[in-house]
Structure 1
Amino acid sequence: MISTTFTPAGLRSAVAAAIRAPSLHNSQPWRFRLSDGGIEVRIDPDRLPQVSDPNRWAARLSCGAAVFNLRLALAVAGTPAEVRLRPHPHDLDTVALLVPARPRPATPAEQDLYSAISRRHSNRRPFWPNPVAADARWRLIEAARAEGAWLEMVIGAGAVQTVAEIARSANRVLERDCAYRAELTRWIRTSPAGDGIPVEAGGPVPEPQDLLPQRAFGVRTRAPGRDFEPEPLVAVLGVQGDSATDQITAGQALQRVLLTATDSRLAVSMLSQPIEVPRAREQLRLALGRYGAPQMVMRIGYGQPGGPSAPRRGVDETIDLA
């Protein structure tokens, strides 16, 4: 017999996993609530970086990632869900509704990805020079494909240089905006907080010779002229279109890729600058020769295990009572 409702206890348990999803500047723009026995995932309009994300692209991506974590948590609890994206088309804030599906045991893949949720975090430090193994790359590509997305590995020094120049150009455009720089600063945390980026979780201070642009979240310096990372593995995640539904789909795919990377003992950091600037995003699409819309650029490699992660607000801070 199919369960007809999710319970408040089940909601709290699943949300504890959902809030481990990534978000722009660790803004955590999500809210959850029970609705007619299902779980609604909604954008929190009070937690949006208004300058960096005026069209809510990043919020939808983050909420999509949270939906994927919810799916895993519910499946592992034996109460899997059917996901309905944007169930109320005229309600721009409702991202998804998860309703009970037929009970079944969690698959080994679901269990592995669920166990990776607590270990996953963005690693903004330089990675080791060890190349990422071919089978690990294949797993990441298949993870994106399983969620209706594509993952393009940027292979070859020339191709990486092209993508890097697009990213650096986009970063220069963004940093010329005083309001953008001020907003970025407001999300940096020098003391304990439930959101934002702690300085200890930031990478080394960026320098002009760096191949890929890093946001200045950290305070650690390095020897002048020293490269951040000589040969990173760069990948671009994209989907077929760029509607609100496509962006939520991309968020679920992004989280599946990130958890698959964590399960493969890989480290990842994300570069959204070439997605935030429309002209750079189109240049990126043309450079890749892909049909569809790029949604995130990632730097992937083997990094120092552990390391600081960005904090999260408490579960009860993100749940709306009926």
Structure 2
Amino acid sequence: MTESPLTLTELRLLATAAGAAPSVHNSQPWRLRPTTNLHGMLVYSTPERAVPVADPDGRAMLISVGAALFNLRTAAHHLGRQATVRLSPDPPQPDLAAIIDLSEPLPDGGGNIPDLYAAIAHRHSSRQPFANRDVPEAVIGELIEAADDEGTTLEVLEEDGARRVLALTTEAEQRIAEDVARQAETRSWLRPEEPATDGIPLEALGPLDLDARVPMRGFTGHPPRPAVSAERFEALPQVAVIKTHGDHPNDWLRTGQAMERVWLLATTHGVRANILHQAVEWQETRWRLRDPAEGPGHVQLVMRLGFGPPGHPTPRRPVEEILDLSGHQLDQRSA
């Protein structure tokens, strides 16, 4: 049975969920538009909100859009609708990332994703120190399966692999510190005074590692201005990477969906995460992230996992900015 057209209330719920997704520098590079028949949603990237110095090919932008896409799927599940996704459906429209058909009800059993809607509001990047204890193997198994269900591979690294990836991240962070253009771009996304609708408030930055074992990004410069506190982090961070066989726009969109699915599932278990993005911003260090013993594959992002504070919320763009309703006649009273 076909579902009724989406109401304004449902469209706003879907857009709010999508808009809560993580994105590089909290740039929120997405735009949504209902399909003509109001049975689905068009998901667009917005290159004008990109970070072109750190992300010249738009890979991180599409990973961010993929995360918003997964949140939209999760919200559709909450509404009892089955989300059928078609990625990059129209090459003549390069900014159109996906079309989501929401015309069918959820099948018996709940469809192909778990109910993670409640976790969307509680998922935040935590740049705080984590406890010196590992995520349980049972939870790791669930996270690996979640990434696999999105067509990617999540690998939680053993000690040698974690130290190698952390060393490459440190190397990349040092290169970023010496790059005036990258420093300027990063600082342009800082929001020292609230209110704001995007970017990173100072409260969300977190401290630097007193022992320099965890290479947290220096958002406020090198040396940091304003000054950032330093604290002791976990002795050996639990590091994971998400990998894909290919390295094309659809792979980046799948990576974003996998990242958010893993992150929301981790949130339900009380596991915190943040993205160590520095090493994937340089072609050389990104290539060296891969483990030659594992065969071919492309590392798309690095995640740090653990137990600790939830992280500070970051500002969000209002629904009216990301949901384009032009050309649609909707009953405003249903909002």
State how many pairs are aligned: 316
Query: Aligned to 1:317, which of 314, 317, 321?
Result: 321
In structure 2, relative to structure 1, the CA distance for the partners of 1:285 and 1:194 (3 Å cut) is same
In structure 2, relative to structure 1, the CA distance for the partners of 1:270 and 1:111 (3 Å cut) is same
- Letter of the 1:26 counterpart: N
Q: Deviations over 1:152-194 (max 9, x none)?
A: 11112x2222111111112222222101001111111111111
TM-score (norm 2): 0.89
Cα drift, residue 288 of structure 1? 6.4
Q: d(CA) in 1 for partners of 2:115 and 2:308? A: 20
Aligned to 1:195: 198
In structure 2, relative to structure 1, the CA distance for the partners of 1:39 and 1:82 (3 Å cut) is same
Q: d(CA) in 2 for partners of 1:145 and 1:39? A: 25
Q: Is the 8 A contact 2:82 2:102 kept in 1?
A: yes
Aligned to 2:243: 238
Q: Is the 8 A contact 1:65 1:252 kept in 2?
A: yes
- Letter of the 1:270 counterpart: I
Q: Deviations over 1:231-256 (max 9, x none)?
A: 11000011121110110011101100
Aligned to 1:210: 212
CA RMSD in angstroms comes to 2.0
Q: Is the 8 A contact 1:112 1:263 kept in 2?
A: no
Q: d(CA) in 1 for partners of 2:36 and 2:245? A: 32
Cα drift, residue 5 of structure 1? 4.2
Aligned to 1:249: 254
Cα drift, residue 108 of structure 1? 9.3
Q: d(CA) in 2 for partners of 1:253 and 1:164? A: 22
Q: Deviations over 1:9-52 (max 9, x none)?
A: 32211111111110000000000011223211101122111212
SS across alignment from 1:80: strand
Aligned to 1:186: 188
TM-score (norm 1): 0.92
Q: Is residue 27 of structure 1 aligned with residue 27 of structure 2? A: yes
Cα drift, residue 228 of structure 1? 3.0
In structure 2, relative to structure 1, the CA distance for the partners of 1:90 and 1:172 (3 Å cut) is farther
Aligned to 2:312: 308
Q: d(CA) in 2 for partners of 1:317 and 1:308? A: 23
Q: d(CA) in 1 for partners of 2:323 and 2:24? A: 20
- Letter of the 2:312 counterpart: P
Larger mean CA deviation between 212-221 and 198-207 belongs to 212-221
Equivalent residues in 2 for 1:125-204, closer than 5 Å: 125-156=128-159, 158-192=160-194, 193-204=196-207
Q: d(CA) in 2 for partners of 1:244 and 1:253? A: 14
Aligned to 1:295: 300
Larger mean CA deviation between 227-236 and 265-274 belongs to 227-236
Q: d(CA) in 2 for partners of 1:200 and 1:134? A: 32
Q: d(CA) in 1 for partners of 2:56 and 2:293? A: 26
Cα drift, residue 100 of structure 1? 2.3
**Structure 2: which 5+ residue stretches go unaligned?**
221-226, 327-335
Aligned to 2:229: 221
In structure 2, relative to structure 1, the CA distance for the partners of 1:282 and 1:30 (3 Å cut) is same
Among the aligned pairs, what percent are the same residue? 39
Aligned to 1:18: 18
Q: d(CA) in 1 for partners of 2:117 and 2:134? A: 26
Aligned to 2:3: 3
**Structure 1: which 5+ residue stretches go unaligned?**
none
In structure 2, relative to structure 1, the CA distance for the partners of 1:320 and 1:140 (3 Å cut) is same
Q: Is the 8 A contact 1:8 1:34 kept in 2?
A: no
Larger mean CA deviation between 96-105 and 286-295 belongs to 286-295
Q: d(CA) in 1 for partners of 2:250 and 2:99? A: 13
Q: Is the 8 A contact 1:6 1:39 kept in 2?
A: no
Q: Is residue 274 of structure 1 aligned with residue 276 of structure 2? A: no
Q: Deviations over 1:102-152 (max 9, x none)?
A: 212673995641111100000000001122111111111111011111011
SS across alignment from 1:160: helix
Q: Is the 8 A contact 1:65 1:254 kept in 2?
A: yes
In structure 2, relative to structure 1, the CA distance for the partners of 1:28 and 1:127 (3 Å cut) is same
Q: d(CA) in 1 for partners of 2:83 and 2:4? A: 11
Aligned to 1:117: 120
Larger mean CA deviation between 235-244 and 102-111 belongs to 102-111
Q: Is residue 283 of structure 1 aligned with residue 288 of structure 2? A: yes
